[in-house]
Amino acid sequence: MAARSRRGGAEGTKVNVSLPPYTYDDAYRAAFERVVPPLVEAFKPDVLVTQLGCDTHATDPLAHFALTTKTYRYLARALHDLAHSTAGGKWVATGGGGYQIYAVVPRAWTIYFAELAGGSTPTVLPAEWVERAHAEGAQELPDSFDDHGVILPPGRREEVDERAAAAAQETVARVFPYFGLR
């Protein structure tokens, strides 16, 4: 469902882009760019409030997406830019899903917090943190903040591209008219 309404004239203010399983970085970014910036700019929030879960990560067991931390870095920058262009730089970021508590969540949140604070992340994960994570039971950990690419089964990338583009277009068709957008 691309848009849901609540009572009291809130039609079009709850938006969902129904992306398919195995949505990977490029497909996700394309859908985001097609839908989110125009809607946020048209809505003109006083404060940009975002829920930044990372259960969309390729290794997360629940969502069946195929994102990498490179997309979280992209989203951090894009959302920060939107906060400045639409809400005077006011941005509230909350946590959310993500079940790879050692391999993904700390990296994703560090990427987001670095962007919020105007900082950056090192390329390699700090050795002290890696040692601590292993001591707490972490099995396999990446060696850097940015993931390497995700390999999808043959033909899957094209299928995902097509379905993700269709989902974004359905959302545009159903929601943009509420804001006078095309």
Q: Give the whole-angstrom CA distance, residue 70 versus residue 123.
A: 12
Q: Give the whole-angstrom CA distance, residue 178 versus residue 119.
A: 37
Give which of 148, 146, 164 is closest to 156, Cα–Cα: 164
Q: Which amino acid is at 151?
A: I
- Which residues are bridge partners to 124 per DSSP? 144
Tally Cβ neighbours within 10 Å of residue 66: 25
Handedness of CA 10, 29, 63, 172 (dihedral sign): positive
Q: What is residue 34's predicted lDDT score, i.e. its pLDDT?
A: 98
Q: Per CATH, which fold does 3-179 belong to?
A: Arginase; Chain A (3.40.800)
Q: What is the pLDDT of residues 38-51, one digit of tens each?
A: 999 999 999 999 99
- Domain ranges in the chain are 3-179
Q: What is residue 3's predicted lDDT score, i.e. its pLDDT?
A: 57
Residues 6+ apart with CB under 8 A from 78: 32, 33, 36, 37
Q: What is residue 135's predicted lDDT score, i.e. its pLDDT?
A: 97
122 burial type by CB count under 10 A (0-12 exposed, 13-18 middle, 19+ buried): exposed
Q: What is residue 1's predicted lDDT score, i.e. its pLDDT?
A: 61
Q: Give the whole-angstrom CA distance, residue 123 versus residue 135.
A: 22
- Residue in the block written with tokens 């990977």: 24
Tally Cβ neighbours within 10 Å of residue 89: 11
Q: Give the whole-angstrom CA distance, residue 79 versus residue 33.
A: 11
Q: Give the whole-angstrom CA distance, residue 165 versus residue 11.
A: 23
pTM for the full model?
0.93
The beta strand positions in the chain, using DSSP E, are 3-4, 14-15, 48-51, 91-94
Q: What is residue 7's predicted lDDT score, i.e. its pLDDT?
A: 58
Q: Which residues of the chain have pLDDT under 70?
A: 1-8
Q: Give the whole-angstrom CA distance, residue 166 versus residue 20.
A: 10
Q: What is residue 97's predicted lDDT score, i.e. its pLDDT?
A: 84
